[in-house]
Amino acid sequence: MGGIEFLKGHGTQNDFVLLPDASGRLDLTAERVAALCDRRRGLGADGVLRVVRAGALGEASDGEWFMDYRNADGSIAEMCGNGVRVFARYLVDAGLAGDGHFTVGTRAGDRPVVVHPDRTVTVDMGPATITGTSVTVVAGSPFSGVAVDVGNPHLVSVLEDDVAGLDLREQPDFDHDVFPTGVNLEFVNLLGEGALRMRVHERGVGETRSCGTGTVAAVAAALHLAGTDTGASTVDIPGGQVTVTVARGAATLTGPAEIVARGELDEAWWAAAGE
């Protein structure tokens, strides 16, 4: 019996292990996800994208494929904006997605995607909803922020000082009553009309080099603070650049998606990782 097929990919250096598992038969425990994502004892990644047929895990979707997304610590998240681009890139490369216009099911709902010839992908991210305000504390310094729901929770703080100066090695504190399931924290500089710079500390991962849902939240929050719900912006993250549009609160995300490797997991390693 052969090993378990995997691929490695990234979107603006937010990196993922992909597990093609059409029938949803793999026993993908939190322990196995954490082992896969470990950068020393596993393959190393910010998260896992299991590729399953819609319905195989009992999740409803009008699309043919469902993205079962897991964070590096093994926790389940509703949505991943960089991940869904890489997921779409894989389906097209594998000949599983026709002309590149299709819908991916996620726990946050269906996400229509367009895979472009230049290897970028545009995702209809659905609504980016402003849900209030809250405060995060980084290395003892409090920052007020705008809470945004992009299918998953975000708190966006716009800073005067350069975000490059923040120490995000430790988990920043946040109000656990406001975010009982945790929150993704974005720190943003406004660079001028239609341009932002962002760093992110992701729920279930730590600081990453990019977060697609986070860039959408950042643009929605910046527009909200400017008194509007419509606009477009580039977002520079440590891993590259994406473009976000927001029209009356509904967002699209465009950015690169790359598949960099494919191979087989060792069966004995997989078995031991589940213990």
* Binding-site annotation, residues for substrate: 14, 71, 81-82, 152, 184, 202-203, 212-213
Whether 37 is a known active-site residue: answer no
Q: Is 80 in the site for ligand LBFN2T5F (CB under 6 A)?
A: yes
Q: Is 106 in the site for ligand LBFN2T5F (CB under 6 A)?
A: no
Q: How many CB atoms lie within 10 A of CB 22?
A: 11
Cα–Cα nearest to 86, from 171, 173, 143, 17? 17
Helix (H) or strand (E) holding 34: helix 30-37
Q: How far apart are CA 203 and CA 160, in angstroms?
A: 24
Q: Smaller CB distance to ligand LBFN2T5F: residue 91 or 108?
A: 108
Q: How far apart are CA 2 and CA 205, in angstroms?
A: 30
- Choose, by CB under 6 A, the member of 10, 50, 82, 146 that binds ligand LBFN2T5F: 82
Q: Is 257 in the site for ligand LBFN2T5F (CB under 6 A)?
A: no
Please give the sequence-ordered ranges of beta strands (E in DSSP) within the chain, or none if there are none.
4-11, 14-20, 47-53, 65-71, 101-106, 109-115, 120-127, 129-138, 141-149, 153-158, 173-174, 184-192, 195-202, 206-208, 231-237, 240-247, 250-256, 258-265
- Choose, by CB under 6 A, the member of 74, 145, 172, 204 that binds ligand LBFN2T5F: 204
Residue range at the interface with ligand LBFN2T5F (CB under 6 A); choices 57-65, 74-82, 234-242, 264-272: 74-82
- Choose, by CB under 6 A, the member of 106, 152, 233, 252 that binds ligand LBFN2T5F: 152
Q: Which residues bind ligand LBFN2T5F (CB under 6 A)?
A: 14, 47, 71, 77, 80-83, 152, 184, 202-205, 211-214
By annotation, the residues acting in catalysis are 80, 211
